[in-house]
Chains A and B, each alone.
Chain A
Amino acid sequence: MLSVSNPLLVVEHLTMRFGGLIAVNDLSFSVGRGDITALIGPNGAGKTTVFNCVTGFYKPTEGRLALARSGIAAAQDVADLTQSGAQHKQMPSGDIYLLERMPDFRIAHKAKVARTFQNIRLFQGMTVLENLIIAQHNPLMVASGFSILGVLGIGGYKASEQQAVEKAKSWLERIGLIDRADDPAGELPYGAQRRLEIARAMCTDPVLLCLDEPAAGLNPKESLELNTLLRSIRADHSTSVLLIEHDMSVVMGISDHVVVLDYGTKIADGTPSEVRNDPKVIAAYLGVDDGDEMNPAHGGAK
C-alpha cells in the first residue's frame, strides 16, 4: 500500500454487501490531498460501489470513511472522533468528517465531496447556465434568506446571484461552452456534456472530486482535453481527484496514485509505474494480451 503522507480521505475496512453478494470486501486505501487518485479494475470489480459509499448514496455494511476537509485525517484523531459518535468535529489534525455516518446531500454540502456519474446526470431540460447555478444552491439559499427574504425582495440576493453567474461564466470559459450557456444541457454533444458535469461538480467548491469514468465515450482528442482539464483543476484549486477510469491514457497520464480492485478486493496500490508492472494486475485485470495497452509510449507517461 502506498503510504500517503497527507491523507484527505482514509478508507478503512470498507465492506459493502448486497444480500449474499459481497461487492466490496475489506477495502482500505487513502487519497492524498492534492493528488489525483485512480481507482481501476475490470467491470464489476466494485469501483462504482466504492464511489457510492464515499458519496453517501450507499450506506457501507462495515468500515470507516474519514475525510479531512482541512488539515489531514490523522489516525489518532479519526479514532477519537469514531469513539465520540459524532459525524464531524474539528480535531487537532484537521476538520474531520465520518462519511459513513452522513446522508448523501450532507456529504456534498458539508464535507464538500462532489461527484459525476457514469451515465451523465445533467438537468437536461435546463440550460447550461442553470445547471451551474443549481450547483451553487446552498450558498445561494443562505443569501436568499431561505427564500423568505428573496420572495420579498429584501437582502443581497441579487448580488450573490451575480457572483454565482460570474463563477459559472468562468467555468464555462474554461470548458469552452460559454457560447452555449443559454442552450439546454440535453442538446450538447456527448463530450461537452461530460465536461459540463465536471464543471457543475466543481461549482460546489469541493475538496474531493469523484469522477466516475469521465473519459467513457470520448474520442482521443477529447480525452486529451480532459487530461488538461483535470490537471488544471488540481493545479488551480485545492481540489483532490478520485477517479474511476478504463481509459489507460487518462489513468497513466495524470494519476499520482492508482488503486486496483478485482472482485471487490484490492490487488494493488501504488504509483502508476508500480501498478503497471505488478504481475497480479497484469494477470487479473489487464490480461497478458492487453499488455501493450500499458506500454508507456502508447499510454503517455507523466
Chain B
Amino acid sequence: MATTNKNDDGFNWAFALKEAAFAAIITAGLSFPILALRTDMDISNKLILNQRWSWLIVAAVLVFVGRLAVLSYAARPKSTRAASTAPQSDSSKFIAKWISAVGLLALFLFPIVVTSALGGQGALKWINNYGVQIMIYIMLGWGLNIVVGLAGLLDLGYVAFYAVGAYAYALLSTHYGLSFWICLPLAGILAATWGVILGFPVLRLRGDYLAIVTLAFGEIIRIVLINWVDFSGGYAGVSSIPRITFFGLPFNDNVGSFSNFFGLTYSPIHRTIFLFYLILCLALLTNYVTMRLRRLPVGRAWEALREDEIACRSLGINTTSTKLTAFALGAMFAGFAGSFFAVRQGFVSPESFTFLESATILAIVVLGGMGSQIGVAIAAVVLIGGTELLRELEWTKQIFGQDFDPAQYRSLIFGAAMVIMMIWKPRGIVSTREPSIFLKEKKSVSGDLVAEGHG
C-alpha cells in the first residue's frame, strides 16, 4: 500500500497501473472459484459445471478501476487536505448553524408535507418506514453516542437495553394494564438500572475486553428472553400490546376516539403521524440532554475520561461513577426507544434484538463521527434510509432480470460503504470536536488530536 506522495506535481501512472493490475489479479485469483465456476443441477439431478468467465472479468475490471481511483485520490496535492485546526470560517459556521435549524423544521413539517402530497395511503409508508424507522435509529445512535462517543467506552451490547425497554412496556402493559405514559419513564429507569448492573463488573475492563463483555451481556439478555418462556413468552414473544393513545384517546373508528373527538374522518395515518412526532420528541429530548450535559462537569468528565483516565483520577474525578452515569444514561435512552418500539409494533420478540442491531447502531455512531450529534443523525439517515431505499429500486429488475432483489445486497453495499468511509474519512462524517466552552473564539478540534477512548 505504498503511496505516491513523493511526487507532488505529477501522478505516477506507471506505479498506479502496476498497483491496480496487481489488485485485479488478486481479485481474479480469490474470486475465481466463486464467480467463474458454478455448479447447477440439470434436469436429471446431475451436477453440471457452468462457467461464467464474464463475471470474473467484470469483477477484475471493477477492482482495477477502483484501485486506480483510490490511488489518484491519495496522490492529490497535500495542500487540499485540511489543516489540523483552522478557525471555522464564517461560511462553515453559518452552514453549521443553519443545517440543524433547517433540518429541525423539515422534520416537523415532514408528515404534513408528505400527507398533503401523497394522500393518506401513500404517505403511510414514507412516514412509517422512513420517518419513524430512521428517528428510532437516530435516537439509539444519540444514546449510544454518550457511551461510545463521549465516554469512549466501546459497547457492543447496546441492543440489550433497547430490549429491556421494549419488554418493560410489553409486559407492564399486558400484565398490569399500565398506560404507555407511565411505562415510558419506568422503561427508562429499568434500562438505566440494567446499565448500572452491567457497568459495575466491567468498570475495570478496558478496550477489547470491555467490548467482549458487553457483547456477551447483549446475548445473555436475548437468550434469557428466548428461554424464560413463562416470563417473556420465549420465541413467540409478547403480542397484542396495547397501542398508543393520544393521551387517552385511542386511534380507531369508535366513539371517543381521537378522530371522533377532533371531528376528523378516521384514518390510520393519524396514529403514524402521532408516533412520528412522539419519537421525534423523544430523540430531541435525548439530543437536548446530551448537549446540555456536555457543557456540565459530568459531560466534560466523560470526554476527559475518553482522553486520559489516569489524568482524570489525578484530578480527583471519580472515574467509577463517571463511567456508570454514562452507561446508565445511554441505557436509559435505549429504554425509552425500546418502549416506543413496543408500542409502535404492538408485538415484541427476541428476534428484534440480535447482535446485528447493536452492530448497526454502533456503525451509525462510528460512521457519524464519534461524539458528534449531527454526524450521528446524518449517518442514521444514510444507513437506515439507504436500506429502505433499496426496496424502492424496482427498475433494477429491468436491467438484472426479474429474480433480482436489490434489498438482498444490503449487507454488501453496507460493507462497501463502510470501507469507503474508513478510507475517505476515518474519523466519521463529522470528524472535528466542538469545544464545550471557549474564551474568545470557538475553534473546532481536529479529530487527529481527539482520543477514541480505551474502554
Give Cα A151 to B297, complex, Å. 11
Could you tell me if A183 and B85 are in contact, using CB atoms closer than 8 angstroms? yes
Closest CB-CB distance, A154 to chain B, in whole Å?
Answer: 12
Could you tell me if A140 and B439 are in contact, using CB atoms closer than 8 angstroms? no
Give Cα A184 to B307, complex, Å. 12
Could you tell me if B318 and A182 are in contact, using CB atoms closer than 8 angstroms? no
Inter-chain contacts of A109 with B (CB < 8 A): 316, 318
Closest CB-CB distance, A108 to chain B, in whole Å?
Answer: 4
Give Cα A187 to B86, complex, Å. 12
Give Cα A133 to B437, complex, Å. 9
Over the window 287-302 of chain B, the binary record of Cβ atoms lying under 8 Å from chain A Cβ atoms (1 yes, 0 no) is: 0010011001110110
The residue in chain A whose Cβ has the minimal distance to the Cβ of B435 is A127
Could you tell me if B85 and A133 are in contact, using CB atoms closer than 8 angstroms? no
Inter-chain contacts of A183 with B (CB < 8 A): 85, 443
Q: Is A58 part of the contact surface with B, judged by Cβ < 8 Å?
A: no
Contact of B445 among A114, A127, A150 (CB under 8 A): A127
Could you tell me if B313 and A182 are in contact, using CB atoms closer than 8 angstroms? no
Over the window 174-209 of chain A, the binary record of Cβ atoms lying under 8 Å from chain B Cβ atoms (1 yes, 0 no) is: 000000011110110000000000001100100000
The residue in chain A whose Cβ has the minimal distance to the Cβ of B317 is A137
Closest CB-CB distance, B93 to chain A, in whole Å?
Answer: 14
Inter-chain contacts of B310 with A (CB < 8 A): 57, 117, 121
- Given A57-B313, A122-B311, A133-B437, residue A105 in contact with residue B449 (CB < 8 A): no
Over the window 249-292 of chain B, the binary record of Cβ atoms lying under 8 Å from chain A Cβ atoms (1 yes, 0 no) is: 00000000000000000000000000000000000000001001
Q: Is A55 part of the contact surface with B, judged by Cβ < 8 Å?
A: yes
Q: Is B41 part of the contact surface with A, judged by Cβ < 8 Å?
A: no
- Given A125-B451, A130-B437, A141-B297, residue A108 in contact with residue B308 (CB < 8 A): no
Could you tell me if A114 and B314 are in contact, using CB atoms closer than 8 angstroms? yes
Q: Is A233 part of the contact surface with B, judged by Cβ < 8 Å?
A: no
Inter-chain contacts of B317 with A (CB < 8 A): 105, 134, 137-138
Could you tell me if A157 and B316 are in contact, using CB atoms closer than 8 angstroms? no
Q: Is A129 part of the contact surface with B, judged by Cβ < 8 Å?
A: yes
Could you tell me if A137 and B316 are in contact, using CB atoms closer than 8 angstroms? yes
Q: Is A284 part of the contact surface with B, judged by Cβ < 8 Å?
A: no
Closest CB-CB distance, B206 to chain A, in whole Å?
Answer: 16
Contact of A108 among B307, B313, B437, B445 (CB under 8 A): B313
Could you tell me if A133 and B300 are in contact, using CB atoms closer than 8 angstroms? yes
Q: Is A123 part of the contact surface with B, judged by Cβ < 8 Å?
A: yes
Give Cα A123 to B301, complex, Å. 11
Could you tell me if B297 and A144 are in contact, using CB atoms closer than 8 angstroms? yes
Give Cα A140 to B325, complex, Å. 16
Could you tell me if B437 and A165 are in contact, using CB atoms closer than 8 angstroms? yes
Inter-chain contacts of A105 with B (CB < 8 A): 312-313, 316-319
Closest CB-CB distance, A201 to chain B, in whole Å?
Answer: 8
Contact of A187 among B318, B433, B440, B449 (CB under 8 A): B449
Inter-chain contacts of A169 with B (CB < 8 A): 439
Q: Is B303 part of the contact surface with A, judged by Cβ < 8 Å?
A: yes
Could you tell me if A104 and B314 are in contact, using CB atoms closer than 8 angstroms? yes
Could you tell me if B308 and A123 are in contact, using CB atoms closer than 8 angstroms? yes
Q: Is B94 part of the contact surface with A, judged by Cβ < 8 Å?
A: no
Inter-chain contacts of B301 with A (CB < 8 A): 134, 137
- Given A130-B436, A183-B443, residue A125 in contact with residue B449 (CB < 8 A): yes
Q: Is A1 part of the contact surface with B, judged by Cβ < 8 Å?
A: no
Contact of B297 among A122, A123, A127, A140 (CB under 8 A): A140
Over the window 312-338 of chain B, the binary record of Cβ atoms lying under 8 Å from chain A Cβ atoms (1 yes, 0 no) is: 111111110000010000000000000
Contact of B449 among A57, A124, A161 (CB under 8 A): A124
Could you tell me if A147 and B311 are in contact, using CB atoms closer than 8 angstroms? no
Inter-chain contacts of A121 with B (CB < 8 A): 308, 310-311, 314
Give Cα A129 to B445, complex, Å. 13
Q: Is B446 part of the contact surface with A, judged by Cβ < 8 Å?
A: yes
On chain A, the number of residues with a Cβ less than 8 Å from chain B's Cβ atoms is 46
Closest CB-CB distance, A280 to chain B, in whole Å?
Answer: 33
Inter-chain contacts of A129 with B (CB < 8 A): 435, 437-439
Q: Is A47 part of the contact surface with B, judged by Cβ < 8 Å?
A: no
The residue in chain B whose Cβ has the minimal distance to the Cβ of A160 is B297
Closest CB-CB distance, B68 to chain A, in whole Å?
Answer: 35
Closest CB-CB distance, B161 to chain A, in whole Å?
Answer: 20
Could you tell me if A147 and B296 are in contact, using CB atoms closer than 8 angstroms? yes
Q: Is A135 part of the contact surface with B, judged by Cβ < 8 Å?
A: yes
Contact of A186 among B435, B440, B441, B449 (CB under 8 A): B449
Inter-chain contacts of B441 with A (CB < 8 A): 182
Q: Is A88 part of the contact surface with B, judged by Cβ < 8 Å?
A: no
Give Cα A205 to B32, complex, Å. 69
Q: Is A126 part of the contact surface with B, judged by Cβ < 8 Å?
A: yes
Q: Is A115 part of the contact surface with B, judged by Cβ < 8 Å?
A: yes
Give Cα A147 to B292, complex, Å. 9
Give Cα A104 to B85, complex, Å. 35
Contact of B446 among A104, A133, A184 (CB under 8 A): A184
Inter-chain contacts of A110 with B (CB < 8 A): 316
Give Cα A187 to B314, complex, Å. 22
Inter-chain contacts of B300 with A (CB < 8 A): 126, 130, 133-134, 137
Q: Is B50 part of the contact surface with A, judged by Cβ < 8 Å?
A: no
Give Cα A125 to B289, complex, Å. 22
Inter-chain contacts of B308 with A (CB < 8 A): 121-124
Inter-chain contacts of A55 with B (CB < 8 A): 314
Could you tell me if A200 and B315 are in contact, using CB atoms closer than 8 angstroms? yes
Q: A105-B319, A124-B450, A126-B307 are in contact. List 6 more A-B contacts (CB 8 A).
A: A110-B316, A124-B451, A125-B449, A130-B435, A141-B297, A187-B85
Can you list 23 A-B pairs, Cβ within 8 angstroms, ordered by A?
A: A57-B314, A104-B314, A105-B316, A114-B314, A114-B315, A117-B310, A122-B311, A124-B451, A126-B300, A126-B304, A126-B433, A127-B445, A129-B439, A130-B300, A130-B435, A134-B301, A137-B317, A147-B293, A151-B293, A181-B439, A183-B443, A184-B85, A184-B449
**Contacts from B to A (Cβ < 8 Å):** 84-85, 289, 292-293, 296-298, 300-301, 303-304, 307-308, 310-319, 325, 433, 435-443, 445-446, 449-451
**Lowest 7 CB-CB distances: which A-B pairs, in order?**
A125-B450, A109-B316, A108-B316, A123-B307, A121-B311, A186-B449, A140-B297
